[in-house]
Structure 1
Amino acid sequence: MGSRATVCGALALWSTLAQADQVGCVTTEWKLIGANHRICVESFADPKVPGVTCHVSQARTGGVSGSFGLAQDPSQFSLACRQTGPISLPAKLPKEATVFAEDTSILFKETRVVRMWDEANKTLVYLAISRKLIDGAPANSISTVPVMPWGTR
């Protein structure tokens, strides 16, 4: 019964995460066999805070193992979040919530973006981290979005 609850909880979390759209990729190293190493940029809107869009760039491993999805991508990424429309904060915004997650290896590693609410400064803080089930990873990137009027509002 415990594993069923875990699976249901994971599915519920996954359904609340943003879905990313690929903006584009740039080759960083040409490979004779298999896919090239590259940096890819994806965009996603915060699923709970309309008016905020984030862009994340991530290194993608090529070669034969990368072509088959077996390579472990390095923990190299960057994050930029901006106000792209009127920001509408939900009535109960959690102090911290995962808004985006993407696997970066076949097992145990992902890039995750967590939204934090800095109420004192009325600022949304987005933190990208590389999560490893075993050791963790210190790689991180941060972006902030002050909650301000949009246009004439």
Structure 2
Amino acid sequence: MRKVWLAGMLWLPLLASAEQIGEVSTVFKWVGPNDKIVVEAFDDPKVDGVTCYLSRARTGGVKGGLGLAEDRAEASIACRQVGPISFREQLKDGDEVFKERTSLVFKSMQVVRFFDRKRNALVYLVYSDRVIEGSPQNAVTAIPILPWPSRP
């Protein structure tokens, strides 16, 4: 696993960082930002040629604007082959690819990857966890590993 030295004392695994693609408002708030659904994209840090798109709820209002609100556990994911697929290092089933905090302290949304060797496919699972009690709500997507056509 690739690691980065931070603050001279702390080792952290490198995870993908998301780029916001767009958002839609779902609930108008008189004070603070509206509740939204955001769409984010991130590239798999260990697999070249794969981009995942994640849509999830973001709570608005005063608490949401201050970063104190707890976002809902629902999310949707779609990963696609966007170039030739190659592995930067050996893959381990259940590797965490992406993680983002969805409450002030105890809740996060994460994406993990599995390699289905029998079908030659990468499988990505998004779910929410919490220190005390997680959520069974999840979404899954799969990418068959196919040759990438070369351009003339």
User: TM-score when scaled to structure 2?
Assistant: 0.89
Determine the C-alpha separation between the residues in 2 that align with 1:119 and 1:59.
33
Q: What is the deviation of 1:152?
A: 3.6
- Code of the aligned partner of 1:124: L
Alignment equivalent of 1:56, drawn from 54, 57, 60? 54
TM normalised by structure 1 equals 0.89
Aligned-partner Cα distance in 2 for 1:46–1:60: 23
Q: How does 1:48-127 map to 2 (within 5 A)?
A: 48-90=46-88, 92-127=90-125
Gaps spanning 5+ residues in structure 2: where? 1-8
Q: Is the 8 A contact 2:127 2:136 kept in 1?
A: yes
Q: Point out 4+ residue stretches in structure 1 off by more than 4 angstroms.
A: none
**Which has the larger share of strand?**
2
Percent of aligned positions that are identical:
48
Match of 1:148 in 2: 146
CA distance in 1, matches of 2:89, 2:72: 38
Q: Is the Cα contact below 8 Å between 2:19 and 2:41 reproduced in 1?
A: yes
Aligned residues of 2:15 and 2:45 also touching (Cα < 8 A)? yes
How many residues align? The count is 143
Deviation, structure 1 residue 33: 1.0
Q: How far is 1:91 from its partner?
A: 5.2
The aligned counterpart of 2:12 is: 12
Q: Which amino acid aligns with 1:12?
A: L
Q: Is the 8 A contact 2:99 2:108 kept in 1?
A: yes
Question: RMSD of the alignment, in Å?
Answer: 1.5
- Do the aligned residues in 1 keep the contact of 2:58 with 2:71 (CA within 8 Å)? yes
Q: Which residue of 2 aligns with 1:34?
A: 32
What corresponds to 2:3 in structure 1? none
- SS of the residue corresponding to residue 87 of structure 2 reads coil
Does the aligned pair in 1 maintain the 2:48–2:88 contact within 8 Å?
A: no
Question: Secondary structure at the residue paired with 2:135?
Answer: coil
Q: Give the gaps of 5 or more residues in structure 1.
A: 1-6
Matches of 1:94 and 1:119, distance apart in 2 = 12
